[in-house]
Amino acid sequence: MKLGTTIISSIEFTKRISLVIFMAECPLRCPFCHNGELIETGEEISSSEVFKIIDDNKDFVDAVVVSGGEPLSNSDDLKRILDYSKSLSLETKLDTSGVYPDRLKGVVNSIDYIAIDVKAPFDKYEKLTGTDISENVKKSIEIANNSENTYLECRTTYVPSLLSPKDIEEIAKNISCDEYTIQQFRNQNVFDNSLKNVENPNPNELKQIAKDIKKYFKVVKVKTAEFGCEFV
């Protein structure tokens, strides 16, 4: 598999300290992707080397988060990492774009917490990601919702030039999950350089959008560079 980097984080898995493993490779090319270097490069690494990283950190963390890139690009390696983490009594989280529902089915029983990106209203996916993967995302959400012991977060990066508050309401009306997060677009380090001229949305604007769609979910959060992760 190809590895990007690893970090220790207190915000990637709510109320947990986690080891975050960023796996390289992704089949999508979202214009607002801030991990562009990850989707095209990465260091070749074996499963046993990843297990060693987990071993070295296991006494300091509660959970292992596998993010990317798209971790399901290498679903056999991903399953080995998740199962190894569970064998050490660590909780597990997967971040995915939802592009590979069939592969998700094969690993979902090893996941305690899954975050699926809902990048756009389902009829606008092609515009936002260059590929219409909306049916895959719908199936991935269904698989996660049907997995009894898996907590599901859906999340959207709010890019002002590509999405409107109405789009967020459209997304909210059409998904079902345990919590929904609006993430702030950041114009530094984006895949499509033309987005560098788009202003980062104001945290207050995002909180207002979140308040307006709160009625659709049990839990709604806003994630910004200024204030971190806030419950609305």
Binding site for ligand SF4 (CB under 6 A): 26, 28-30, 33, 35, 39, 68-70, 97
Closest to ligand SF4 by CB, 42 vs 68, is: 68
Taking the C-alpha atoms of residue 156 and residue 165, their distance in angstroms, rounded to an integer, is 12
Taking the C-alpha atoms of residue 121 and residue 124, their distance in angstroms, rounded to an integer, is 5
Closest approach of Cβ 79 to ligand SF4, in Å? 20
Q: Count of H helices and E strands in the chain?
A: 8, 10
Beta bridge partners of 95: 115
Closest to ligand SF4 by CB, 28 vs 66, is: 28
Residue 121 and residue 115 in contact, taking contact as beta carbons nearer than 8 Å: no
Closest to ligand SF4 by CB, 25 vs 91, is: 25
Closest approach of Cβ 212 to ligand SF4, in Å? 25
Closest approach of Cβ 209 to ligand SF4, in Å? 20
Taking the C-alpha atoms of residue 55 and residue 52, their distance in angstroms, rounded to an integer, is 5
Closest to ligand SF4 by CB, 72 vs 108, is: 72
Closest approach of Cβ 170 to ligand SF4, in Å? 20
- What Cα–Cα distance (Å) separates residue 147 from each residue in 55, 96, 138, 224? 28, 16, 15, 30
User: Among all residues, whose Cβ is closest to ligand SF4?
Assistant: 33
